[in-house]
Chain A
Amino acid sequence: KNEVEQSPQNLTAQEGEFITINCSYSVGISALHWLQQHPGGGIVSLFMLSSGKKKHGRLIATINIQEKHSSLHITASHPRDSAVYICAATYYNFNKFYFGSGTKLNVKP
């Protein structure tokens, strides 16, 4: 079954804290995606990865193929990072995304 599970569901942090959001998935993914949904509803793609690690500014995404696990890290968190973070997997031979339920992050000043 092509499930994607995220944790935690909700996360509150103080400005400056290091944040980790976790995602686990089934075997045989072709790629793992991290998305950010702003309070207004718009969604942007942050990362797409199939191995290793990617970094963009204060955001870092890692994936461990053997453990079927990915993490999204935010360093030096800021209130503007407050959003819902969604992981999604694409599997070989399936032309669609399988979405996690999202992690709602609130960074307090």
Chain B
Amino acid sequence: DGGITQSPKYLFRKEGQNVTLSCEQNLNHDAMYWYRQDPGQGLRLIYYSQIVNDFQKGDIAEGYSVSREKKESFPLTVTSAQKNPTAFYLCASSIRAGSYEQYFGPGTRLTVT
């Protein structure tokens, strides 16, 4: 059945290491998004992609990078330049960018020590 998946659910890394979070969707959606959520705070947009081979920075893109080589996949790399990488990361997709319902993945909880 169709959906959006993220892996792994929990991820632990040492400070200074880059880490890549996976996001895959089989909904045939053009747009995909990465959000960060910190305890007690709202969702903040890191990057989004409206179409394959295109992506735009969101509100907190510093220290992150993405690629969109396939429609189904939108991996997020948390680089060592990200000062406070420990957070809950959510991926979402929608049929197109803009005022369309977003479908969320289950999230990846990243802990960096």
Q: Which residues of A contact B (CB under 8 A)?
A: 30-31, 33, 35, 40-45, 48, 50, 86, 88, 90, 94-97, 99-102
A45–B103 touching, CB < 8 Å: yes
B48–A41 touching, CB < 8 Å: no
Count class of interface residues, chain B: 20 to 34
Q: Does residue B85 face the partner (Cβ distance < 8 Å to A)?
A: no
Q: Which A residues are CB-close (under 8 A) to B109? A: 41
Report the nearest B residue to A45, measured CB to CB. Answer: B101
Q: Which of B58, B90, B107 contacts A96 (CB 8 A)?
A: B58
Q: Which B residues are CB-close (under 8 A) to A30? A: 98-99
Q: Which A residues are CB-close (under 8 A) to B44? A: 99
Q: Which of A42, A43, A95 contacts B98 (CB 8 A)?
A: A95
B45–A96 touching, CB < 8 Å: yes
Q: Does residue B43 face the partner (Cβ distance < 8 Å to A)?
A: yes
Q: Which B residues are CB-close (under 8 A) to A42? A: 104, 106-107
A95 in contact with B101 given A41-B88, A41-B107, A42-B106 (CB within 8 Å): no
Q: Does residue B97 face the partner (Cβ distance < 8 Å to A)?
A: yes
Q: 1/0 per residue B13-44: CB within 8 Å of A?
A: 00000000000000000010100010001111
Distance in angstroms from A71 CB to nearest chain B CB is 19
B101–A48 touching, CB < 8 Å: yes
Q: Can you sample 12 A-B contacts with CB below 8 Å? A: A33-B102, A35-B104, A42-B106, A43-B104, A45-B102, A48-B101, A50-B99, A90-B99, A95-B50, A97-B102, A99-B43, A100-B42
